[in-house]
Amino acid sequence: MPEPLMLPPGAPSARDAARAVTLGVLGGGQLGRMFVHAAQTLGFRTVVLDPDPASPAGLVAHRHLCAAYDDVQALDELAAACDAVTTEFENVPAQSLHRLAGVLPVAPSGDAVAVCQHRAREKAHFARSGVRCVPWALLESGADLAGIDASLLPGILKTATLGYDGKGQVRVEQPQDLGAAWAALGRVPCVLERRVALQREISVVLARDRAGRCVHLPLQQNLHRDGILAVTEVPAPDLPGAVAAQALEAAEAVAAALDYVGVLCVEFFLLEDGTLCANEMAPRPHNSGHHSIDACDLSQFDLQVRVLAGLPLVSPRLHSPALMLNLLGDLWFAAGDHTPRTPCWDRVAGLPGAHLHLYGKAEPRRGRKMGHLTITGASVAQARAVAAEAASLLGIAPF
């Protein structure tokens, strides 16, 4: 496969056709692991930069640079080894991406990642994109605390940075509770969001290339428990066409306003009154898009590789209805037991349409994402029935 056709003009491999194309990723978690698998399917070499010597992606990549994300020497080594670099999570230092971008193509950009790293910047970007989000306020100081509008309560107080999977969040019922909630979060910068009556949660996973072309996965409906995604169903059941079109238009507007390149997920609340609000975005493949590995002809990781390598984007086709169940470390522990046990994977593997993905993490911990299970079926009803059986076998709460 001629290398000059597989990367943007001027990329290192376009000048050095004798060298295999190598794609790098900052971050060695499960998203990096699945990106590496997708890249290797197309014959690319892969390099992972991650400080964990046992990182899931590092274990399967051609090369693992075991170093901090801001280690200048390691970043320069990554740039020298690769033809293009991506990231698998949003909390890598934006300045590291900027440094790499001075040498080779990087997608997404450091500027885009910096927006997604801070909830207030993210919400301001939604507004610039013409996309509605729930009412909110920034809390950074005692003066901010005194000036919070009581109409935002009851609400959810969230740390402005480093919050994910329900971490860094406190529910607040009354104005007099807000100070204690902020203290519990360490008085770090936070955003307070008004709690809203939800009909459901949906997400859009799209890929956007350097020319601005967008493709997307089918819209997903998501169920969260304790702030962590538990179940994704695709296609989103009984979603009105107008709502689906509005979500796609909003997600593409968010990406375009960032001049985004890469895979982006935008999560939405569909309120009980039928209106749509953006919740948050992730500058990477997303947990809710994992079904695409088994239910679509192109996965979100295939799209990530295509964008990074300059290959054509093709709209993914959903060939099977599917439900995806997150497999958390809790499944390894019986009630009241502190000794992990192996879940009944043999029984799950015997279910029709079951696709088990374990991430290679050595230590199960409660709340830790250890894998996912996708159930595909000939019909939505069949996929739902088998997914319910799998949940029962594993001890996952009904949905």
Q: Within a domain: residue 65? A: yes
**Whether the predicted pLDDT of 12 surpasses 50:** no
pLDDT at residue 251, as a whole number: 98
Angle of helix 72-81 relative to helix 94-101, nearest 10 degrees, comes to: 40
List, for residues 107-151, the tens digit of each pLDDT value.
999 999 999 999 999 999 999 999 999 999 999 999 999 999 999
pLDDT at residue 7, as a whole number: 58
pLDDT band at 334 (very low <50, low <70, confident <90, very high): confident
Helices (H) and strands (E) in the chain, counts: 13, 17
Judgement on whether residues 142 and 91 belong to the same structural domain of the protein: no
pLDDT at residue 165, as a whole number: 66
Tell me how far apart the alpha carbons of residues 218 and 244 are, in angstroms, rounded to a whole number: 9
pLDDT band at 388 (very low <50, low <70, confident <90, very high): very high
Tell me how far apart the alpha carbons of residues 245 and 49 are, in angstroms, rounded to a whole number: 38
The predicted model gives 247-276 an average pLDDT of: 97
**Whether the predicted pLDDT of 43 surpasses 80:** yes
pLDDT at residue 6, as a whole number: 57
Q: Into how many domains does the chain fold?
A: 3
Q: Within a domain: residue 154? A: yes
List, for residues 57-92, the tens digit of each pLDDT value.
999 999 999 999 999 999 999 999 999 999 999 999
Question: Which pTM was predicted?
Answer: 0.94
Residue 229's closest CA among 206, 198, 203? 203
pLDDT at residue 205, as a whole number: 98
pLDDT at residue 281, as a whole number: 96
Judgement on whether residues 233 and 337 belong to the same structural domain of the protein: yes
The predicted model gives 218-222 an average pLDDT of: 97
Q: DSSP letter at 12? A: H
Cα-based torsion angle of the residue sequence 268, 107, 42, 358 in order, rounded to the nearest 10 degrees: -50
Q: Within a domain: residue 376? A: yes
Judgement on whether residues 167 and 208 belong to the same structural domain of the protein: no
pLDDT band at 10 (very low <50, low <70, confident <90, very high): very low
Domain termination residue (choose one: 173, 194, 215) = 194
Q: What is the mean pLDDT of the chain?
A: 93
Judgement on whether residues 57 and 146 belong to the same structural domain of the protein: no
pLDDT at residue 4, as a whole number: 33
List, for residues 157-200, the tens digit of each pLDDT value.
999 998 766 678 999 999 999 999 999 999 999 999 999 999 99
pLDDT band at 19 (very low <50, low <70, confident <90, very high): low
Judgement on whether residues 180 and 237 belong to the same structural domain of the protein: no
Q: Within a domain: residue 118? A: no
Give bridge partners of residue 25 from the DSSP assignment: 48, 86
What CATH number corresponds to the domain at position 143?
A: 3.30.1490.20
pLDDT at residue 162, as a whole number: 82
Sequence letter at residue 306: R
Judgement on whether residues 10 and 99 belong to the same structural domain of the protein: yes
pLDDT at residue 166, as a whole number: 65
pLDDT over 70 for what percent of the chain? Answer: 94
Quote the domain boundaries for residue 360. Answer: 198-394
Judgement on whether residues 23 and 150 belong to the same structural domain of the protein: no
List, for residues 287-322, the tens digit of each pLDDT value.
999 999 999 999 999 999 999 999 999 999 999 999
List, for residues 302-311, the tens digit of each pLDDT value.
999 999 999 9
Contact between 379 and 337 (Cβ < 8 Å): no
